[in-house]
Structure 1
């Protein structure tokens, strides 16, 4: 494993920032990076600490030189591009500045109340690739179309993925417009055009690429961790009716490209060091991965012990001040392929990754129904609607529904850290063009 635990992960470490020590998401053991603004100010890099955001541009003179040199932009691309050792040095310095009271007078003026800030996309995303490594999701979806053989023959040999649409990735809080598109009912002779009637969410982790690789080279799996800068939550919205009609023979297109929602904080690979776990053993009879996808160290530390949850809030629930309804709860360890295997495979043909590129894991589902990562699974393709506490029923999402993804990394002997919210409200479709 590249970089283990150190004093920045000490569960007894506390911050002088009020409210940070007991914060559910952003104690001093986390220190995620983001881009924020206050009022009409220019967006700039910050780090979350409790209910505050530290303006990194205002404390740049207190930071290591390599980090200080990349604090002037409106994205985190240059910061993510730093070598692992430089990112780790920055983490150590921030931990020191926010825990040692001797630095308080210098640092406190650079703190902003998070409630008064606007969060932006953390990076200029050059490319977005969505994988399909959640095996329980793949099985659940496959059974609806191929009950006797849900997984296609290549699934256990190769990390399946496709290139998504980077331009339509948006940060948490930006509403999602119900997409228009072609869809064809099974009993219809021809397709129709109009708003999707089977709009769904997908629970995923996003992976932020750090240092890239030159075109024509491959990243060996033993080095893949060095190219991963951090993680976020990702809701890769899916219009199931559009997708069913258009996906053959080339795969997802307009059913996925209308919007993807991410949590705005980059939880660094260094912050997640205590939450590494062994990759789940493959079932008896599964093929052994090809050599370029196999590394013993990765098998011992390639999973992430992260609890994932999905909540739903309808318009009626908001109007009645009712709490969000939990749709599912599962673990990020329910992935058949590791992040390192995803990176190694992505570059195995010489494809170049760049700092700020985004990789999605694909929908992460648990083996049991309470952990399914999409309504397509929970409602069995819409045939078994769920009933909400309000008496409302849902097969797929209605206008006014809000989906909220959340995640907490947990490990015995360490302070839990969170990702912040990844949420968006569904708005009605625009008129047909």
Structure 2
């Protein structure tokens, strides 16, 4: 490696993509440092998918304990203690941060626990004033929640703060219609909160198959979650006792104890000094990169949510790996963004891979769809009317399965395996040829005729 610089690679941001790129690059023999101003692990591990999924697990017990009585268990009335779950989740986050840190140190990656900014194509300045140089710089600072601008918006919180609440609020207003909004709506509802979701459009989970997202809306309404569509925030007033009065367009003011903004995430590039190196930033604040993760400055690269390509943790990890393999491993690698599966850990969860029905009709013209609309066996005995929905989208000419979309218990777990079939380009007849695994919910994937 070159000795003209302090480091072969300096990474700004120790999230999933930055950590993977650092560790693999160091394993290839590069001298690597990674700067992180918050905690090692990034959004996913510290204040995103990992702690949120643990809250989802905790929330599921609300219905599981009720259902247990129908299965013969004498379950007394149970009291939920938020502080216990919150503290255990935060302890697990701390444990994972320690593991990430140990993994970097084991690969001789220097961890710099302070803010770093770019001061040129090869220059970095730390908040302590220390200046260093690197042959390559990797931006992996992720994304940050968007907070709408209106009078009183400062009285709301984002998902970052939701994991640290002192208590579960009795009345929650959630702004947004995406996956974060619907996941926290389910979580707070199961914990006993009165939940209202405020969405500026009339569509939730834009980008997911219409039938699947409509089923989630139907189930959520049945559970008692309220939705305000085509509503804009006018102002929020905070009373002396801490309660909020939320004024919206098109409806009466809403009284709430908590306002949670889940209105999207923007790339975290502000005040990073990227302009000093000629790095192009698009109109959404994302670093513009090519297929090899290289920015408009030849020595500066970017991976993960900061590029705003696909804001998913596994994608950031793939990009970090591809960067390290290409730059330091002499193994040119590019990420394939086709057929990336995704899930929403709502109540119940949904998942999808490939083309939605509308996307397929626009792209292919001739399309066939197959659906299975059923009650999970557990729900039948538990006396729950909640129905699952599985859907195959098939190319009408070739019979290739181009999309699978589903909502119901364990849908994300089932879809991970099913996504392999879509990625491999299997045809409907190959699904039909598989013998069903009975009795399971997953067997519905091979029984649609």
TM-score range normalised by the length of the shorter chain = under 0.3
TM-score, L = length of structure 2: 0.21
Q: RCO (CA 8 Å, sep 6+): is it higher in 1 or 2? A: 1
TM-score, L = length of structure 1: 0.22
Q: Which has the higher helix share?
A: 2
- Structure number with greater Rg is 2
